[in-house]
Amino acid sequence: MEQFFQQVTNGLAVGSIYALIALGYTMVYGVLRLINFAHGDLFTYGAYLGMTLLTSFLLHDHLGLALALVVLAVMVMGLVAVIGVILERAAYRPLRESPRLSAVVSALGASIFLQNALMLVYGARYQVYPDVLPQTTVSFLGQQMPVMRLAVVLVSVTIMAALYLFVQKTKVGTAIRAAAIDQGAARLMGIDVNKVVTIVFVIGPALGGGAGLLVGLYYGQISFTMGWIYGMKAFTAAILGGIGNIPGAMVGGLLLGVVEALGAAYLSIAWKDAFAFLVLILILIVRPSGLLGERVAEKV
Amino acid sequence: MAARTTTRLAVGYALAAAFIVAAPRFLDAYWLDVLNSVGLYVLLALSLNLILGDAGLFNMGHAAFYAVGAYTAAILNTRYQIPILWTLPASAVVAAVFAALVARPVVHLRGDYLLVVTIGLGEIVRIALVNDVFGLTGGANGIFGISRPMVFGYKIRRPHEFLYLIWAFVAVTVLLFHRLEQSRFGRALNYLREDPVAAEGSGVNTARYRLLAFALGAAWAGMTGTLYAAKMTIISPESFGFWESVVLFLMVILGGSGSIPGVIVGAVLVVVLPEVFRGFASARMLVFGLVMMVMMVVRPQGLLPFRLLRFKESDVRRAGASS
| Distance in angstroms (rounded) separating the CA atoms of residues B101 and A169 | 47
**Chain A residues with CB inside 8 Å of B285's CB?**
112, 115-116
**Chain B residues with CB inside 8 Å of A116's CB?**
282-283, 285-286, 289
pLDDT at B67: 94
**Chain B residues with CB inside 8 Å of A281's CB?**
106, 117, 120-121, 124
Which residue among A103, A119, A278 sits closest to B124, beta carbon to beta carbon?
A: A278
Question: What is the per-residue pLDDT across A90-144, written as a single tens digit (0 to 9) for each?
Answer: 888 888 888 878 888 899 899 999 998 998 888 888 888 887 777 777 777 777 7
Question: Across the interface, do A106 and B109 touch by the CB < 8 Å criterion?
Answer: no
Mean pLDDT of A214-240: 89
Question: Across the interface, do B288 and A104 touch by the CB < 8 Å criterion?
Answer: no
Which residue among B108, B293, B300 sits closest to A300, beta carbon to beta carbon?
A: B108
Cβ count near B295 (within 10 Å): 20
Q: ipTM of this predicted complex? A: 0.82
Compute the nearest-CA separation of B55 from chain A (Å). 14
Residue A294 has pLDDT above 70, yes or no: no
Compute the nearest-CA separation of B50 from chain A (Å). 16
pLDDT at B273: 84
Question: Across the interface, do A104 and B112 touch by the CB < 8 Å criterion?
Answer: yes
- In terms of CA atoms, which chain A residue is nearest residue B126? A274
- CB-based contact (8 Å) between B303 and chain A? no
Question: Across the interface, do B297 and A94 touch by the CB < 8 Å criterion?
Answer: yes
- CB-based contact (8 Å) between B162 and chain A? no
**Chain B residues with CB inside 8 Å of A296's CB?**
109-110, 113
Q: Largest alpha-carbon pair distance within chain A?
A: 62
Q: Which of B1-15, B216-230, B284-298 has the lowest mean pLDDT?
A: B1-15
**Between helices B159-182 and B184-194, what is the axis angle to 10°?**
70
pLDDT at A170: 92
**Chain B residues with CB inside 8 Å of A277's CB?**
119-121, 123-124
Compute the nearest-CA separation of B53 from chain A (Å). 11
- CB-based contact (8 Å) between B64 and chain A? no
Which residue among B106, B130, B253 sits closest to A105, beta carbon to beta carbon?
A: B253
Which residue among A228, A281, A300 sits closest to B117, beta carbon to beta carbon?
A: A281
Question: What is the per-residue pLDDT across B219-272, written as a single tens digit (0 to 9) for each?
Answer: 999 999 999 999 988 899 988 988 889 889 989 988 888 889 999 999 999 888
Question: Across the interface, do B246 and A103 touch by the CB < 8 Å criterion?
Answer: no
Which pLDDT band, with edges at 50, 70 and 90, does A296 fall under? very low
3-class SS at A1? coil
Higher pLDDT, B318 or A239: A239
Four-way CATH pick for A2-130+142-286: 1.10.3280, 2.60.40, 1.10.3470, 2.30.30:
1.10.3470
- CB-based contact (8 Å) between B105 and chain A? yes
* Domains of chain B by start residue, with CATH: 2-322 (1.10.3470)
- In terms of CA atoms, which chain B residue is nearest residue A38? B289
pLDDT at A264: 84
Which residue among A103, A113, A271 sits closest to B286, beta carbon to beta carbon?
A: A113
pLDDT cut 90: percent of chain B above it: 32
Cβ count near B300 (within 10 Å): 19
Q: Is B217 exposed, middle or buried (0-12, 13-18, 19+ CB in 10 A)?
A: buried
Question: Across the interface, do B121 and A108 touch by the CB < 8 Å criterion?
Answer: no
Question: Across the interface, do A232 and B119 touch by the CB < 8 Å criterion?
Answer: yes
pLDDT at B311: 65
Residue A300 has pLDDT above 60, yes or no: no
